[in-house]
Chains A and B, each alone.
Chain A
């Protein structure tokens, strides 16, 4: 019904507000414009992080020094880690697609606190700027890795303070986004949208919001303690002053393991939306999906110790953390089974976003299974700090969250931009991206099992063959990425106009014009049916 109105009503992209030009974006409190601010910043930093990764892989093409020395390599993997974790994957899906779609999917006009939402983006920019300043100011770039492990993080001459403070500010931005979403979902759901009529993407953002809220302050205070340690020599984590470096690791992972669920939960939500839309079938086991999301978020708080199996913990603690880690696999497997069952007897429409979802499921499963190997105590001792770990978390964080991010981008692109992209180039890009990904990270499993440690710019001759394959994979991956980005950008102008519901989706965002009008809905929708009503 609302599609006819598209012409007379101005979309959020054309709307004339109080400010002009760039200020109509950076002063806007419209959740859709803020989402695009995030999208462009995150893509920029993703490009920075990916380029650093590409250069690191090139360094590893042969043993010994290839293009950079050891210290530069240390600085590169540190910056790659900080930028990718804190500035790309953690905010990624919630800040971009959550901001854009959460209010629309629950039938609201905006988030609960629009100005706070804009402030979160400013904090994000300040945080990333601090991280980048650390590269150029002071004694040289940080070289601790993104984990800032004590005691090295306050002994190194590297310029740690801005980097640590940057991570602190980014954490604060993430807390405010989570807080905003939680209140939005509690207070602003459309009439008739009970909790169990809420689509799955908002549900995953709900669980994520709680994790952001309850886990991030712990890393915040830990990072402040590192700052105090460096400036005031307080001795929290310094063994020479009576402090305990292992305590730092506990505090750090108390946040940073739940942070992995901040990354993966919204990814699962986006994949759920894509699979149900392109199967044209109600999601299988909706209530189980909701329960498993909450279960993953809950159990995720209690598994941080599995990052520290070799750091020194009591036997009881080791067994407990190992068992709890295995427990997380159960709700994760429930999700995979439900995705597959949704496709069963569905009428599947093979479009680009669906291919991304397929790639996601495959890579997520490889990542998940390798996680179980790492979660078992005996294997962990052998594999800890090898390339196996690097491969495992890239399969989850890049193969999982990263692929879901691009899947979501191809799924909601018509809604956000009002244009369709070129499907053929999108698919070519995806195939290259996928093949490059597996070629890049696949050999790392073998290298790690054979004992190649992570975080070294050099390696033994026996690892040469695997590294050549891996580096070549990085080139394929990078070219695939270039094709995807170029295709999406060029379709902004030249793509055909998108209808309101190009894929046959049933959630609320497909009932309004593409791109959405400023106020999202002409009249507040009244919800009477479940979110995926295909009958």
Chain B
């Protein structure tokens, strides 16, 4: 049993950054697969991408960008001893994250109603390019949504720690690390959005 060593915020942040590298490489593998299949099925990917709603995608992008801003502001707020504002900003971040998921739910629901989902015979009849496009679409946005959920759980835990004064103006590295994670989730969406919605 080692006694608690002294706090090292820089170490925690270094660790978080290294972890974010691994997350980027995790999605990096998928980006490689996406580019290979896009190159091979350029036309099918082009047509399939036009079926996605750019409007919903744009709304979701704006939602995530604002939520990144609010969590960044909450870090400044806690440094200024403003506990109430910190919690308010975190609350907004969580609500925006949930709004993103709700949009995603309706978007997916729409596709599934039209029998566009992996393994569906109707999708299979539309050809291999469509199968791959939608396979990648569901897998990548699904994995991204999973990251959103994990991020939301983290932020809720952080909120609880702030209420109990475990995270305060001179000890907020956990909040900062959650912020980093949330920005990464945002960043990955910034790449997914053009890949699936904009490049047509």
B2: interface (CB < 8 Å) = yes
User: Are A225 and B1 closer than 8 Å at their CB atoms?
Assistant: no
Known A214-B22, A251-B29; further 10 A-B contacts with Cβ < 8 A? A31-B2, A187-B10, A187-B14, A222-B29, A232-B119, A232-B138, A242-B127, A242-B131, A242-B132, A247-B36
The answer on a CB contact under 8 Å between A217 and B36 is no
5 inter-chain pairs at a CB distance below 8 angstroms, sorted by A residue, are: A24-B1, A236-B33, A241-B131, A243-B132, A251-B32
Residues on A with C-beta less than 8 A from B3 are: 519
The answer to whether B128 and A241 touch across the interface, beta carbons within 8 angstroms, is yes
Contacting residues, chain B, for A180 (C-beta < 8 A): 15
Task: Tell me whether B132 and A110 are in contact (CB under 8 A).
Answer: no
Say yes or no: B18 contacts A213, CB within 8 Å: yes
Known: A17-B1, A242-B41. A233 touches B118 (CB 8 A): yes
* A188→B14 CA distance, assembly (Å): 12
Q: Mark A228-248, 1 if CB is under 8 A from B, else 0.
A: 100011111000011110010
Q: Does B199 contact A (CB under 8 A)?
A: no
Which residue of B11, B23, B131 is within 8 Å of A112 (Cβ)?
B11
Would A247 and B33 count as touching, CB distance under 8 A? Answer: yes
Give A19's nearest chain B residue, CB to CB: B1
Q: How far is the CB of A176 from chain B (nearest CB, A)?
A: 8
Interface string of B109-143 (1 = CB under 8 A from A): 00000000011000010011101100110110001
A519 contact set on B, CB distance < 8 A: 2-3
Interface majority SS (helix, strand, loop, mixed), chain B: helix
Closest Cβ–Cβ distance, residue A37 to chain B (whole Å): 14
Check A216–B22 contact: CB distance below 8 A: yes
Q: Does B105 belong to the interface (CB within 8 Å)?
A: no
The yes or no answer to B170 lying at the interface (CB within 8 A) is no
User: Contact: A213 with B21, CB < 8 Å?
Assistant: yes
Contact residues of A with B, CB < 8 Å? 15, 17-19, 24, 28-31, 109-110, 112-114, 116, 175, 179-180, 182-183, 186-188, 213-214, 216-218, 220-222, 224-225, 228, 232-236, 241-244, 247, 251, 518-519
- The chain A residue with its CB closest to the CB of B11 is A187
Q: Are B19 and A179 in contact (CB under 8 A)?
A: yes
Residue among A30, A116, A221, A234 making CB contact with B1, cutoff 8 Å: A30
Nearest CB of B to A233, in Å = 4
Residues of chain B within 8 A (CB-CB) of A19 are 1
Contact A236 B18 (CB under 8 A): no
Closest beta carbon of chain B to A230's beta carbon, Å: 11
Q: Is the CB of A251 within 8 A of B118?
A: no
Query: Residue on B with the closest CB to A172?
Result: B22
Within the complex, the shortest CB–CB distance from A479 to chain B, in Å, comes to 40
Question: Most chain-B Cβ atoms within 10 A of its Cβ — which of A17, A109, A110, A183?
Answer: A183
* A-B pairs with lowest CB-CB distance, top 7: A242-B128, A17-B1, A234-B135, A221-B29, A217-B25, A233-B119, A217-B26
Task: Known contacts A109-B2, A518-B2; decide if A213 and B22 are in contact (CB<8 Å).
Answer: yes
**Chain B residues closer than 8 Å to A235, beta-carbon distance:** 118, 128, 131-132, 135
Please state if A183 and B132 are interface contacts (CB–CB under 8 Å).
no
Closest Cβ of chain B: how far from A206's Cβ, in Å? Answer: 12
- Smallest Cβ distance from B75 to chain A, in angstroms? 21
Interchain CB contact under 8 A, B15 and A183: yes
- What chain B residues lie within 8 Å of A30 (beta carbons)? 1-2
Alpha-carbon distance between A506 and B3 when the two chains are bound, in angstroms: 28
Asked if A234 and B26 sit within 8 Å, CB to CB, the answer is no
Q: Give chain A residues whose Cβ lies under 8 Å from the Cβ of B154.
A: none
Instruction: Assess the B14–A183 pair: CB atoms within 8 A.
Output: yes
Q: Which residues of B contact A110 (CB under 8 A)?
A: 2, 5
A112 touches B8 (CB 8 A): yes
Contact indicator per residue, chain B 85-97, by CB within 8 Å of chain A (1) or not (0): 0000000000000
Q: Does B161 contact A (CB under 8 A)?
A: no
Say yes or no: A18 contacts B1, CB within 8 Å.
Answer: yes
B169 → chain A closest CB, angstroms: 23
Whether the pair B8, A214 counts as a contact (CB closer than 8 A) is no
- B19 to chain A: closest residue by CB: A179
Using known A-B contacts A110-B5, A182-B18, determine if residue A225 contacts B41 with beta carbons closer than 8 Å.
no
List, in ascending order, chain A residues with CB within 8 A of B108's CB: none
Q: What residues on A are CB-neighbors of B135 within 8 Å?
A: 232, 234-236, 241
In whole angstroms, how far apart are the Cα atoms of A175 and B22 in the complex?
8
Min C-beta distance of A464 to chain B, whole Å: 45
B25 contacts A218, CB within 8 Å? yes
Q: Which of chain A's residues has its CB closest to B13's CB?
A: A183
